[in-house]
Copies of this chain bind each other. A is one copy, B any other.
Amino acid sequence: MLKDVQGERDIRKVPLKHVGIKNLHWPIIVKDKIKGIQHTVAEVTMAVDLPHDLRGTHMSRFVECLQDLGAVSPVALESILDTLKDKLVAEKSMLEIEFPYFITKAAPVSKQEAFLDLHCRYRAEKAANFELYVCVEVPIHTLCPCSKEISRYGAHNQRAVAKVEIRAEELVWIEELAEMAEAGASSPIYPLLKRPDEKFVTEHAYENPRFVEDVVREIALSLEHDDRIKWYKVTVESIESIHNHSAFACVEKSAESNSLYADKGEYL
């Protein structure tokens, strides 16, 4: 019998906030509003807390637990979290998956369809209660209101990314969050545009100039009016086309989140 070094007593009296694995890549199946399911590939983080008197956790059990994950759903995620708490003798558990999600996007005039990729993240946590945070990064188009106003013709515009993070108690589809993000922009962006589509997008954006400040406010209003959403944070970052840096704006619902973890994502 090989010795269990991780299971030794620890006398340093330092409890750990989390201990686990990250940068694990794994094929997953996620629910798709239109097609039922979608195959994709995730980057996975899994963690538990560790009491002050235990030396270490058993890292291989995280991967064992992940193998029980079927199609990703709130129920499936909570089940993994319960198993983690049980197998690792922990009071809190966490599972985070980041993955590209593909929506079929039709061009505005020609109606030709192709895949548009959204970067998504689910973070599920469980101590006494289960909580699920959903984050979607939606690529959008912004056209500068100032540049349009002061120039005789033209206006600088650029690709931007709207990052929408929510906590909800009922299902909110990735597709719904993407629609809110696009509605707040100067224009959605598309994987495939023929000339009549390009004309449409160019003119539509010119008619709808938006600062990053405007876009976060428009998205925040949509989220605020949705009763399913208990908390949100919206950040828009534009890859300024006249600068070599980005502009960004952020709005967060004032009510405190109940996350077990003080920080729910990067600063931005």
Contacts and interface: CB of A to CB of B under 8 A. Distances in A.
A4 B55 CA distance: 40
Interface stretch (A11-19, A73-81, A168-176): A11-19
Contacts of A203: 151-154
Nearest to A52: B217
Contacts of A41: 40-41, 100
Contacts of A156: 141, 157, 198, 201-202, 205
User: Which of A14, A24, A64: most chain B CB closer than 10 A?
Assistant: A14
Contact of A199 (B23, B151, B193, B240): B151
A264 interface: yes
A130 interface: no
Given A21-B247, A191-B24, A56 B217 contact: no
Given A16-B213, A25-B100, A191 B243 contact: yes
Task: Count copies of this chain in the complex.
Answer: 4
B239 A239 contact: yes
Contacts of A265: 263, 266-267
Interface string A204-234: 0110000111101110110000000000000
A27 to B, nearest CB: 5
Contacts of A190: 242-243
B64 A25 contact: no
A115 B27 contact: yes
Interface of A: 2-6, 10, 12, 14-27, 38-41, 44-45, 47, 50, 55-57, 59-60, 63-64, 67, 96, 100, 102, 112, 114-117, 139, 141, 143-147, 149-159, 187, 189-196, 198-199, 201-203, 205-206, 211-214, 216-218, 220-221, 237, 239-252, 257, 261-268
27 contacts: A2-B149, A3-B149, A3-B150, A5-B145, A16-B216, A17-B251, A19-B213, A19-B248, A19-B249, A22-B245, A24-B191, A59-B247, A64-B112, A139-B244, A150-B198, A154-B154, A154-B157, A156-B198, A157-B158, A158-B239, A189-B244, A191-B243, A198-B242, A201-B242, A241-B241, A261-B267, A266-B267
Q: Which 4 A-B pairs have the closest CB atoms?
A: A154-B206, A39-B39, A263-B263, A24-B245
